[in-house]
Structure 1
Amino acid sequence: MVLVMGFEGSANKIGIGIVRDDGHILANERTTYCPKVGEGFLPKDTAKHHRDNILRLVQKALQTANITPSELDALAYTKGPGMGGPLRSVAVVARTLSQLWKKPLIPVNHCIGHIEMGRIVTGADDPVILYVSGGNTQVISYSLQRYRIFGETIDIAIGNCLDRFARVIQVPNDPSPGYNIEQMAKKGQQFIELPYVVKGMDVSFSGILSSIEKIATQQLAEGTCTKEDLCYSLQETLFAMLIETTERAMAHCGQNEVLIVGGVGCNVHLQEERGGKLFATDDRYCIDNGAMIAWGGLVMFTSGVKEVPLSETTCTQRYRTDEVLVQWRT
């Protein structure tokens, strides 16, 4: 039996998870930094939130799993991508505990953690992957020991687009801007046409955001539309773009299965938007969490990635999905 503890803190969530090599999740503790309405989360404030909570979550995870540090086989942490300050604050703790407990430390790509957690939780074998989160938007498929990126955003991620629009119309950050937009969109009555920007397999969201910000400023003041109408229109436009590129990748790969991962993947409407066989997880595993990093580290550890030199246990804000050698899949 192999046990791995995972440390995730690439954005506004700090999570500690413990998993077993049979796929059983022993603990998955998490807390979220929520700034005031109309504000985003700054790296320095988010990093402080993580520092203030991480040791409490480590202790809670050990208690929930009913194990001691001596029973762990390895630790895993998010190397990137993500926000520099939060990444470093978590990596420092992971490195310290690795030396204190004398356990190997495995750096994990954040997206790989999402994908492998999605595969183990849903049972999806070899799907096309739609990775949608606050910092990333990619259409991915596996081939020859790499997760190949078929298409991606050429500017901002879909989650970032939703978060920034939420600030414009003063949508609360608790539990998350995207969730609150999803609930408001259900009450939308009027569809407002927005730019639809698909370029081959890639998408662009920044122009759509600029357009709806102008519409919101003008039409909300005039009373010709509601906030709910804007949420509905934005959500429908963004999701239609993602579905188009995902279906094209499925046709190219000859696959009829798609796995949605990342925080935006919790959106129920997005999960309902396409045919074929869909795999998705709930907010326990879709949203950033420690268990996904623990599982990502575990599959790496059991496939031959052993102790990484301390000098290589760094973090980076940019770490592409297709940079990782996926040696645990054949």
Structure 2
Amino acid sequence: FADVLYTGTADGKIVKIDGRNFHVIATLGKPPCGSREHEHSCGRPLGIRVGPNGTLFVADAYLGLFEVNPVTGDVKSLVSTEKKIAGRPLGFVNDLDITQDGKKIYFTDSSSRWQRRDFMHLIMEATADGRVLEYDTESKEVTVMMENLRFPNGIQLFPDEESVLVAETTMARIKRVHVSGLNKGGMDTFIDNLPGFPDNIRRSSSGGYWVAMSAVRPNPGFSMLDFLSQRPWLKKLIFKLFSQEMLLKFVPRYSLVLELRGDGVCLRSFHDPQGLVAAYSSEAHEHGGHLFLGSFRSPYLCRLDLSKV
């Protein structure tokens, strides 16, 4: 896939961008699409990874895990959200990563209670009902690797594939969950007190990681989310007065992307304080000397030439 990009869109499509050409290769849900009311049936593809045999593995927020053939457009359901896992529903399937041999897929379920279209509720409540799960592509079994996480979001395998990094968005930190080897079942903090709320995590060519922030924390030390979590009555009042769309207008357009070293130390950061070029960046993917930026709100992709920064 030399210079081909794949992305999911807000109206449920998985698209291939090849130079200036744009092809829809698959849709996972059913029309109508494009509105909040229909998002759960239309589907919302979030995390996408290319597997070892060239197929795409896709995490859809409402519908589950899929394998998509980018040539034929054939879609195969791997994990359906209709089935409960360990007694709890998959409410908000978010991101995934796959081992090099293609045998294990690790994925995040951000909440069993709140769906993607209600993500502001999940953020404001800081609900600790997110999970990291493992799908075995041979046995077709799904196993819970870690639970009680607060909005687990982006996920990225460590180079040795014995652990995964997981962005715990509302906590402004990244956890390391041990999924195999001697420490299996354990978890530690990779980096905390980040200057923003981390969304996706992807490898960088320097051996570290790119982390895109869904929003910045204007003043580390005081967090509106921390403040509200102690005052449930105030939260209820805010949701009575304002819709989610209205609340999103209060989120600054400030875009921030960090490059972390392999040990979690910050190497460098890129900023767009007014969000004039790349507002609401939520993923940074490095390829061929460029950084491609995706967004959970902006209707475009950005490309940054890393040789010029």
Q: Which has the higher contact order (CA 8 A, sep 6+)?
A: 1
TM-score, structure 2 length as denominator?
Answer: 0.27
Bigger Rg over Cα: 1
If each structure's strand is expressed as a fraction of its own residues, which one has the higher value?
2
If each structure's helix is expressed as a fraction of its own residues, which one has the higher value?
1
TM-score, structure 1 length as denominator?
Answer: 0.26
